[in-house]
Structure formats: C-alpha cells, structure tokens
A and B are shown apart, each in its own frame.
Chain A
C-alpha cells in the first residue's frame, strides 16, 4: 500500500469524471438528497408523535430497529428487487436516515421542560407560536444530534453503495479491491474518512450557530 493514487495530480483533475473531486461531489449529492427526503418524511412524524405523545412506541423503537437493519443487505435487497440505478439505492439510503431523524425529533419534543411550555401558553401564545418560538428552538439540540447521526450513516452507507453500482467515493474502494489496486483503496479510505469527519464538523458548526447559547449547557 502506498499513497501514490492519492498524490497523483491526474486523480484531482476536475475535468476527469472519475477524479476525486467529482467523486466527492457526487458522494455529497447522494448524501444531501437522502437526508433531504428523509427529513421531509421523518421530521413531521417525529415532531407530531413527540408533541402529542400518540404512537410513542413507534418513535422509541424506530431508532433501535433502524440501527439493527444491515445496510448492505438493504442495499442489495433493493437493487435485486428494483434493478440497478439511482432509485433503489436512494430508497435504501432514505430508509436508513429516517429512524435517527424521527427518534431524535420525538426525543427533542418529549424532553422539553413542561414548565416553560406551560409558561408560554400562560403568556398567551397560540399553539403555532408555542411550537415555532418555544418548543422547536428548545428541541433543536437533540434534533440536530439525530440529524448528525443520520448524516454519518448516509455518508458511510453511500460508500458501501458503490458495491451495487452507485458512484461516489465508494468507487475507489470497491474498484480498487476488485483489481487489487490497494493504493486506490487507501486513497478512497482516507478521502471518505476525511469527508465524514468534515461533514460532521460542518453540522456541528451549524448546530453551534443556530442553537441558542442559552441552551448550550444541556
């Protein structure tokens, strides 16, 4: 193993579709798309369950169930069922981001300090105002940590998804392994690890910016 693949300038040339920058971009693209679709589905459900307490059982167990699903099995199942292509992979990725987002949205709403919500109502806020001005901002830290987990999950699974034909950084690992080009494998491992760490740091930064400093203690 050596770093020659990583240090070869040709592999960093953006005009080459298989170059590292392009793989990073497509990797980020799949990740963002799956997170977006997953959030659109899971956030409202999690918030609703957390707010009303109806269906808590689902929300509590979704996290564990999602964690126990083998990602590779799910990917290969989808592709075997629906054929090669972006759609089956995207479905699998989305299925994986839903549990952490849903569970954390639920937990964020459940763990609210009820005295504060009560005080908000007592001051004359309407339900919508209570939700948007008090409950959501207070639930944000837990919700965002769930979102960060989901993001890590997709970045990792999108790597694995190269095994079922998806683009992205996983290609370096899978193709490298297939032809015993360990320099390429190593390059893939390093770049995808760095990407995962950076995505997490980026989300941590966002969390820092949008969570009220008053809630930092928790």
Chain B
C-alpha cells in the first residue's frame, strides 16, 4: 500500500481534494438552506409535517438514482459534478432542516416564555436564546450529514465524478486491491477528522451541555 501511495501520490492527492470539495460544499449550501427552512417549519406549525414528509421521501431516494435523475430537472450534463453537489445538498437539507426544526422544538417553552416576558423581540430571541439552545441537536445532525456525505461522494465515480471513488473503480477494473484499500481508508479517515472537528467546535460553543 505504501508502494502504491508513493507511486501514485499525485492522483491520490487530487482525488482527496476533489472528494473534500464535493462533500463539504453541499454541507455549506445545505446548512444555509436548512436554517431558515427548519425555522419556518417551527414558526408555521402547519408546515412541519408536509416539509418533514417531503424530506423523508427525498432522503429515501438512492444516491445513484438521484445523480442520474437530476440532469432531467436541472438540464445539466449527466457527467457534470453539479449533479453530485446538488444531490448531496438535497440529502443534507433533507436531514438538517428536520434537525433544525426538532432542535428548535426541543427548546423548553418555559424558557421561551421567560425570554418573551423579559422583553425579547422575536428575532433577537431566536438568535440569543432559541438557536443557541438548539445548537447541540443541530450539530449532532450536522455530524451525521457530514459523515454520510463524505462516504456518499464515491458513488459519484459511477458517473465519472467521485473523488476517492475513482480509486475504487480503478482498482476494481484492474482487479488490484491497493487503490481500493487506500480509498476506503482515506474516506473513513476524512469522515473521522470532519466528525472530530465538529465535535470540538461543539464542545467549544456549547459549554453548558457538559455542566450538571
């Protein structure tokens, strides 16, 4: 395996970079979309169930199907990386919007009432009180989304875009174990590091969760 890495470090390095960007870009987009969407689902409670059910259906669509189906909707080429980014963004939103909504709903109504009674207006209350309290739940969802995105990217290699997934297809075609192993290990390590970073951020920004 070391032999393989030294001989192919450029290919591997490039695959790794592509993998990261294909996995993390959707996380950024997804997070940005999920916050307002999750909030709306709580603010207008009639929206909650339709929204959650829609996301449930989207989330259940297999990734390969979504990768090849998106071009029909978006008018993109079948082999465009945009399909992978959009598909993973859809999964991220499907997971995170619900988490944001559930996180906001988990805030003790007594605390929200107390904030209102102290003279908070809606927007500031959301930023100062409700979002921070929902943060542990939201970040837990972000961990799940990040880790599954990182592992899902490689499926994209079946349509020619897949970061480390390209190591799998190459190894499989040549019946050659090393690239497959390297790809799996790097993908898992990448997921573990991303997960760890979120955990560390969470510890730093939610010190109260370790109290008691």
Contact = CB atoms under 8 A, between A and B. Distances in A.
B155 interface: yes
B65 A74 contact: no
Contacts of A112: none
Contact of A72 (B143, B148, B155): B155
B147 A64 contact: yes
A1 B74 CA distance: 12
Interface string B67-103: 0110110000010000000000000000000000000
B115 interface: no
A91 B7 CA distance: 31
A72 B65 contact: no
A164 B172 contact: yes
Contacts of B188: 65, 68-70
B60 A189 contact: no
B154 A70 contact: yes
B57 to A, nearest CB: 5
Give the interface residue-count category, chain B. 35 or more
B107 interface: no
Contacts of B71: 1
B211 to A, nearest CB: 21
B165 interface: yes
Nearest to A185: B68
A80 B180 contact: yes
B158 A72 contact: yes
A73 B147 contact: no
Nearest to A186: B72
Contact of B180 (A1, A73, A174): A73
A76 B180 contact: yes
Given A1-B72, A68-B147, A73 B187 contact: yes
B201 interface: no
A80 B177 contact: yes
A200 B56 contact: yes
Contact of A160 (B155, B184, B192): B155
B95 to A, nearest CB: 11
Nearest to B59: A152
Contact of B148 (A67, A77, A174, A196): A67
A60 interface: no
Contact of B66 (A73, A152, A189): A189
Given A73-B187, A159-B65, A197-B57, A80 B154 contact: no
A163 interface: yes
A189 B183 CA distance: 26
A69 B185 CA distance: 9
Contacts of A155: 62
B66 A69 contact: no
Contacts of A210: none
B175 interface: yes
Contacts of B191: 67-68
B40 interface: no
B84 to A, nearest CB: 13
A64 to B, nearest CB: 6
Interface in A64-122: 64-65, 67-74, 76-77, 79-81
Given A70-B184, A182-B78, A196-B61, A174 B165 contact: no
Contacts of A46: none
Given A70-B155, A185-B78, A189-B66, 18 more contacts: A64-B195, A69-B184, A70-B168, A70-B183, A72-B168, A73-B184, A156-B64, A160-B62, A160-B64, A163-B169, A173-B65, A174-B158, A182-B78, A192-B64, A193-B61, A193-B65, A196-B61, A197-B57
Across the A-B interface, the 3 shortest Cβ-Cβ residue pairs: A156-B62, A68-B191, A189-B65
